[in-house]
Structure 1
Amino acid sequence: MDDQQSPSDDAKAQGLTTGPLYLEDPDLEGDTLREECGVFGIFGHPEAAAITALGLHALQHRGQEAAGIVSFDGSRFHSERRLGLVGDTFSRREVIERLPGNAAIGHVRYSTTGETILRNVQPLFAELNAGGFAVGHNGNLTNGLTLRRELVRGGAMMQSTTDTEVILHLVAQSKRNHFIDRFIEALRTIEGAYSLVSLTNKKLVGARDPLGIRPLVLGEFEGCPILASETCALDIIGAKYVRDVEPGEIVVFDERGAQSHKPFPPKPPRPCIFEYIYFSRPDSIVGGRSVYDVRKAFGAQLARESHVPVDVVVPVPDSGVPAAVGYSQHSGVPFELGIIRNHYVGRTFIQPTQSIRESGVKMKHNANRAAIEGKRIILIDDSLVRGTTSRKIVRMMRDAGAREVHFRLASPPILYPDYYGIDLPDRGGLLAATHNLEEMRELIGADTLAFLSVDGMYRAMGYPGRDPANPKFSDHCFTGAYPTNLTDQDQVEPTPRQLSLLAEAS
């Protein structure tokens, strides 16, 4: 999708656009990792849709482009899908009233495959031979394009451009007698990363890929089972955390109770390390670890590896805050909010001149001069992608009177693209893949620059270092060690790479 794409006809039909033309200002997003998606489901509760909407509110950080809910009332499925934030639609009573039933699933979307148009908004729904089937997907299939071509050649008519629809068709084409067997057969065909929530006229089904790349947790609320991407979605409704859905596990809930299926050979888990670095909310528990505590540990390890004499530690808000706390606590250097973030930027009008556009970073971040003027500062951020925003923030610190500006990243250099649901540029767009450390330092204008080492990242997670023979996480963006086949990328004919909204404006 082009960064300056006009609002879709679907969006206009729903009255979802305001003004002439909007875009995310790429100057504000140049160093931002885009979240994947978030999923939520509940079975057996009379207020299923309202609870799902609350769960999606808690997962809003995982996708801000669109949201959807599908419910089932015992005889009919009901669907509401909209572009925009959860609160734009699902805080309205009349919308929830159009979603009756005691079972529902929901999805918040940031697209890494497929355009941002209404027909791609999940959960997707189809009437199959055995009844209705809805599915929401967090992740990305690494053979989705290949399977899509095969399905289309076989006569399938695709209604969206998202890889999630492939799963619908695979289930529909299965000749197995029982739904769960058809579902398992479909999952045996796909590759990549996925956490799924699915709804039939009898069952709520959750599934996690065999390596557990994407997270999925099981909770309970007033005796009803819940599936969610993160524990923060349980907290918002006062639900009890039960356990993580295991890698390769399929959990099924119906009127008879719960079932667990493990149809895949066991493999050493490889959860995505970026859940700890960036994606998950700090108040979530992922894989038994507090995300907040892990990020503080990253910061403390960063201080061990690359500290220099400074007066204050300053986070780049909000993602750099926990690591900066850890850095400050370990180094003994005071923590100061030297940058204040405006949380209400949203979308900005296309600016009339480049000079006005170049000031756009101040709409999102502004220097707290009183905390940094005349001081030597260390800036802490979670990661660096292109370097555009980092350069602007360093300049902002100097303009506010900082005497020295040292930049530290609480993750290793990103050297390789991702194919599992994170929106990253190709290698040519990754600053660390095309520049050495000194070149990067000079480009962003810092006095010194340092990244957390790969081994240091593992030490912060409680391991002696990274074991190349048995890495505990999917760390491919740093190491190039992809944990699954990359079938679509290996095709002879060119295939479109994942959609990237990180491209800078020309």
Structure 2
Amino acid sequence: MCGIVGVVSNAPVNQLLYDALLLLQHRGQDAAGIVTQQGRKFFMHKARGMVRDVFRTRNMRALPGNSGLGQVRYPTAGNADSEEEAQPFYVNAPFGIVLVHNGNLTNADALRAELYSTDHRHINTDSDSEVLLNVLAHELEQATRGAALGPEEVFTAVAGVYRRVRGSYAVIAHIAGRGMLAFRDPYGIRPLSFGRGEGGAVMAASETVALEGTGHTPERDVAPGEAIFVTPDGTVHARQCVADARLSPCIFEYVYLARPDSVLDGISVYQARLNLGQTLAKRVVSTVPPDQIDVVIPIPESSRPSASELARMIGKPYREGFVKNRYVGRTFIMPGQSVRKKSVRQKLNAIASEFTGRNVLLVDDSIVRGTTSREIVQMAREAGARKVYMASAAPPVRYPNVYGIDMPTREELVANGRTVEQVREIIGADALIYQDVDAMKRAIGHLNPAIAGFDASCFDGVYVTGDITEGDIARLQQQRPATPTDEEDTPQLSLPNVSS
């Protein structure tokens, strides 16, 4: 999972891109990069780390120009330790292209071999984004064959990319001196929207919060299978390049990944989480009578809307029982269960007065490994809770994700191959209530009837692209980046959420 942004303006964009990346920081904390364009020359700076650490004054001064793009990265494939795999990526032919990508190519290995043997292009890293860049470069070369490049040629090239590439991809690219290109996979798995600012500026970004927070008015989402080409003067050209595209966005964006103040594919993320709280409330009362619950407490941070709505529905007080320390970083190269427990307790601290002598219902957005849930349940008991119930706004996570979320392997998923009762015993709760898969889809889907369905593969095992086999899953799991974060379990996935 990553956050991407691109802009065409009539004023310098280095500060604008920096501000947009700060607003997308929750989508990736591993690395950050910006490319700007002045004339036909690109200027790039990228490195591992958070946006505020990667870019200093001297770096910003070295990024001139009125157009550019940027990315915050959380690695799901390739080498997480390699600074060379931080984005953007650049290739000099044809024309000169820079690219940022959010998603995961499921046929990257086949494409890599094809690029080498047939297209005669060199791939220098293990990143599937570099593969995607070179496929786009080859298709642009084929579409122009030495002729001038205009919108028609760009759309022809993107159609060629769609024919070859499989998986999830939201892409923003700049073609030197020609303009900005944005496109989205035929299922719209990963989000991408664009809007306009003062003076005719055009920005594309993973989430609307990046547009609004930088003074741009969101116009619409890039449709699945659609390409948008923005010329240097701000003129927008759009073309549907896939005839049978259908919108099936990743439902985990609404459950956890996106900021609550974003709107993705016409759906308010905040409202989606409120709706999840409503449907979860119905599941709770069928398992634990409300008169046995004294207080509802969220696990910070993205479960708060669901928890507050659940509390309202069952008529119980909503309280903040845990305080999150925003300044604790990752625990590096310290394996073992004791370290995981220490990490959780450094990040969360219980307010004893909210637990003492009470039956508490803890609400989390999801339960993945279960390690953190077990530790939080124990913290609640140590703070004086009589009984501790746990509710998850998401269904059991039973299957790996192959579309750009760094989900643990199947064996690490606590719900994989286990009943709800077995998971309850593992985490030590007095009761465990999960969201229902179909109820989750209805709760979010009715907010935009135009959505054909969702990719909910980590919950139901149905991969929307229809081409994922057990062999593909095994291969993609082997390609998961081995990083120190694998030795630590944060509340949901493997990244700390800063989407307050």
Equivalent position of 1:370 in the other structure? 353
Q: What's the offset of the Cα at 1:360?
A: 2.6
Q: Please give the secondary structure, in 2, of the residue aligned with 1:313.
A: strand
1-structure distance, mates of 2:395, 2:204: 32
TM-score, normalised relative to structure 2: 0.88
Indicate whether 1:78 and 2:43 are aligned: yes
Indicate whether 1:197 and 2:172 are aligned: yes
Indicate whether 1:480 and 2:480 are aligned: no
Correspondence 1:170-319 to 2 at 5 A: 170-174=135-139, 175-177=142-144, 178=149, 180=154, 181-201=156-176, 202-222=178-198, 223-255=200-232, 257-307=235-285, 308=288, 309-319=292-302
Task: Assess, with a 3 A threshold, how the Cα gap between structure 1 residues 112 and 68 changes in structure 2: closer, same or farther.
Answer: same
Deviations, residues 135-174 of structure 1 (Å, cap 9, x unaligned) = 0000111111221122234443222211011122223333
Indicate whether 1:143 and 2:107 are aligned: yes
Question: Where does the alignment leave 5 or more consecutive residues of structure 2 unmatched?
Answer: 490-500
Task: Assess, with a 3 A threshold, how the Cα gap between structure 1 residues 361 and 241 changes in structure 2: closer, same or farther.
Answer: same
Q: Please give the secondary structure, in 2, of the residue aligned with 1:360.
A: helix
Runs of 4+ in 1 over 6 A off after TM superposition: none
2-structure distance, mates of 1:189, 1:489: 21
Q: Please give the secondary structure, in 1, of the residue aligned with 2:171.
A: strand
Indicate whether 1:398 and 2:381 are aligned: yes
Q: Please give the secondary structure, in 1, of the residue aligned with 2:416.
A: helix
Question: Where does the alignment leave 5 or more consecutive residues of structure 1 unmatched?
Answer: 1-35
TM-score, normalised relative to structure 1: 0.87
2-structure distance, mates of 1:98, 1:415: 47
2-structure distance, mates of 1:491, 1:46: 45
1-structure distance, mates of 2:337, 2:281: 38
Deviations, residues 458-504 of structure 1 (Å, cap 9, x unaligned) = 2322549x9xxx96111111111111144686469966343365644
1-structure distance, mates of 2:79, 2:202: 32
Q: Which has the higher contact order (CA 8 A, sep 6+)?
A: 1
Q: Please give the secondary structure, in 2, of the residue aligned with 1:114.
A: coil
Equivalent position of 1:61 in the other structure? 26
Equivalent position of 1:26 in the other structure? none
RMSD of equivalent CA atoms: 2.3
2-structure distance, mates of 1:472, 1:487: 18
1-structure distance, mates of 2:112, 2:386: 56
Task: Assess, with a 3 A threshold, how the Cα gap between structure 1 residues 144 and 108 changes in structure 2: closer, same or farther.
Answer: same
Task: Assess, with a 3 A threshold, how the Cα gap between structure 1 residues 215 and 462 changes in structure 2: closer, same or farther.
Answer: closer
Shifted more, 262-271 versus 375-384: the winner is 262-271
Q: Please give the secondary structure, in 1, of the residue aligned with 2:116.
A: helix
The share of aligned pairs that are identical, in percent, is 39
Q: Please give the secondary structure, in 1, of the residue aligned with 2:113.
A: helix
Amino acid at match of 1:81: K
1-structure distance, mates of 2:411, 2:219: 43
Equivalent position of 1:110 in the other structure? 74
Q: Please give the secondary structure, in 2, of the residue aligned with 1:251.
A: strand
Equivalent position of 2:493 in the other structure? none
C-alpha contact (below 8 Å) 1:427/1:434 kept by paired residues:
no
Q: What's the offset of the Cα at 1:286?
A: 1.2
Shifted more, 49-58 versus 451-460: the winner is 451-460
Deviations, residues 98-139 of structure 1 (Å, cap 9, x unaligned) = 11111000001000011121110111011013x210000001
Deviations, residues 187-235 of structure 1 (Å, cap 9, x unaligned) = 3210111100000122111001111111101111112100000011012
C-alpha contact (below 8 Å) 1:145/1:488 kept by paired residues:
no
